[in-house]
């Protein structure tokens, strides 16, 4: 038991270090975003997040809880890899110096690879301190288990590896939506976890997004020498949410300069692209996409974070379940048998959980009308997904009134989304009512559906809700809906 607590302490050390770095990482990102929003607001633009949320960007509370996203993804994977390397060096290779050199070399290579698109101090800190601290602490643990062959201990990791590989290979976007619908939105605790995600997910997400995926981008055109050129470029940039500022007080996302008829697209004082006005106007989307790609220094870290999410989720699930099962079995069985029982039980539960969540993803519903009248909310949700996918009008089905009064958040979520395909004027007011739904996910889908309907009547309604909203997640969907409806930013808003 004492040895298990020591190993747990090492794992917690890695997560604690990752959380400290993640908190700083999110905090500095928040501060930078707050400065940009302050300038954009002063210029008269509509800002997202709004004035209800932007003060939170300067608080440590948002940085801490937002940083938890990186701790439970990047921190978990780095901690597990470092602990595994230390265990292999100690138990399998008997502290062989050659293997230690290999571990150090792999560590140094990871530091180089994570900065291949540009150096970032805070991203580097994850890969610098977490592996070093966990490996060192793990290597110094008293090894009282040498009487147990290392190969036998290694066998205990096979269920964990199988579970991680299985989830990483099978999981997809639809799977995570099913995970939310079936596990989180069906109980009080899961709903609170879901609401926590909606409240804090966009703080770390802002770090991972390349420039073209950010809602609002700041730019400057002050050095454009010819006024007609400046007006044409400004109008084009506004359509891609690059918002010109006259008085920039800190580094902007894009600075456009003109030198001898050539346009220089600069970022952080460095010229990224050179083009002409004709080339830019002929394909502004392609050129701005290229500009975003060349200024994206976060892509290696983003890919590692995605991998960490796929692998980290089963790792956390396995660790928690293994600890609980081992603790219970240890009262009845010897430690070695308890470990095996806990490991195999976790493997079984992990696979069973996956198939339970993924079961509805591949069901083919041949008759949506019949499925909507089912007593099972899961079957009704499956029908709504099919209706939305095929862009059918959900108001054509007899079950429409019952769907409006559903008590299941997941059902209201997919029903609101399906209303985006409805052409009936009467469903517009029904959709508007979902903007006041208690579940933030349902509200986000109501905004999404309003944008899909292409009904410009929704613009004042969306702007009104955006003014009072305290939810960044919903503001993102609301702004996207506005843009889909043809609304554009102006300084004189």
DSSP percent split of the chain into helix, strand, coil, nearest 5: 70, 5, 25
User: What does the alpha-carbon distance between residue 128 and residue 126 come to, in Å, rounded to a whole number?
Assistant: 6
Give the per-residue pLDDT at 143.
61
Q: Please state, as a whole number, how many other Cβ atoms lie within 10 Å of the Cβ of residue 29.
A: 21
Q: In the prediction, which pLDDT does 362 show? A: 47
3-state secondary structure of 136: helix
What gap in Å lies between CA 442 and CA 191, rounded to an integer? Answer: 12
| pTM reported for the whole predicted model | 0.89
pLDDT tens, 218-242? 999 877 777 788 889 999 999 999 9
What's residue 146's pLDDT? 47
- Residue 163 is predicted with a pLDDT of 75
For the residues of 356-377, what is the DSSP string, one character each? HHHGGGG---S-HHHHHT-S-H
Instruction: For the chain, list the domains and their CATH numbers.
Output: 2-207+299-357 (no CATH), 211-294 (3.40.50), 365-484 (1.25.10.10)
Q: Which residues of the chain have pLDDT under 50?
A: 145-146, 361-364, 493
Strand pairing class (242-244; 217-220): parallel
């Amino acid at each position: 038991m004492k040895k298990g607590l020591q190993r747990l302490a090492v794992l917690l050390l890695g997560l604690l270090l990752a959380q400290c770095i993640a908190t700083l990482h999110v905090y500095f990102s928040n501060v930078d975003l707050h400065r940009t929003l302050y300038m954009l607001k002063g210029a008269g633009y509509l800002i997202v997040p709004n004035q209800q949320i932007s003060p939170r960007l300067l608080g440590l509370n948002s940085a801490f809880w937002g940083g938890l996203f990186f701790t439970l993804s990047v921190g978990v994977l780095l901690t597990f890899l470092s602990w595994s390397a230390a265990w292999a060096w100690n138990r399998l290779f008997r502290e062989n110096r050659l293997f230690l050199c290999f571990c150090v070399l792999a560590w140094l290579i990871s530091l180089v690879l994570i900065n291949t698109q540009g150096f970032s101090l805070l991203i580097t800190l994850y890969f610098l301190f977490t592996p070093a601290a966990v490996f060192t602490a793990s290597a110094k643990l008293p090894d009282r288990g040498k009487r147990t062959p290392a190969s036998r201990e290694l066998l205990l990791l096979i269920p964990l590896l199988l579970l991680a590989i299985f989830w990483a290979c099978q999981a997809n976007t639809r799977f995570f939506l099913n995970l939310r619908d079936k596990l989180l939105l069906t109980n009080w605790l899961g709903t609170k976890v879901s609401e926590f995600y909606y409240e804090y997910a966009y703080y770390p997400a802002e770090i991972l997004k390349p420039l073209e995926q950010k809602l609002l981008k700041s730019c400057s055109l002050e050095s454009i020498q010819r006024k007609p050129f400046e007006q044409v470029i400004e109008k084009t940039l506004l359509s891609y949410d690059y918002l010109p500022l006259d008085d920039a007080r800190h580094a902007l996302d894009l600075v456009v300069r003109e030198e001898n008829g050539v346009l220089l697209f600069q970022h952080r004082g460095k010229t990224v692209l050179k083009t002409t006005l004709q080339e830019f106007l002929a394909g502004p989307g392609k050129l701005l996409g290229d500009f975003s790609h060349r200024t994206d220094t976060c892509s290696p870290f983003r890919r590692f974070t995605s991998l960490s999410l796929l692998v980290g989720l089963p790792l956390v699930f396995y660790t928690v379940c293994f600890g609980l099962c081992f603790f219970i079995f240890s009262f009845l069985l010897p430690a070695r048998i308890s470990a095996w029982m806990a490991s195999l039980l976790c493997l079984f539960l992990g696979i069973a959980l996956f198939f339970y969540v993924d079961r509805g993803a591949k069901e083919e519903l041949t008759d949506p009308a019949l499925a909507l009248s089912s007593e099972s909310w899961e079957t009704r949700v499956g029908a709504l997904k099919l209706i939305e996918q095929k862009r059918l009008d959900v108001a054509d089905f007899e079950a429409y009134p019952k769907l409006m009064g559903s008590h299941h958040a997941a059902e209201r979520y997919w029903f609101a989304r399906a209303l985006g395909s409805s052409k009936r004027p009467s469903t517009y007011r029904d959709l508007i009512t979902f903007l006041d739904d208690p579940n933030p996910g349902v509200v986000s889908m109501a905004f999404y559906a309003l944008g899909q309907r292409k009904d410009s009547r929704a613009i004042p309604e969306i702007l009104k809700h955006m003014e009072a909203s305290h939810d960044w997640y919903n503001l993102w969907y609301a702004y996207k809906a506005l843009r889909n409806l043809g609304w554009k930013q102006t300084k004189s808003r």
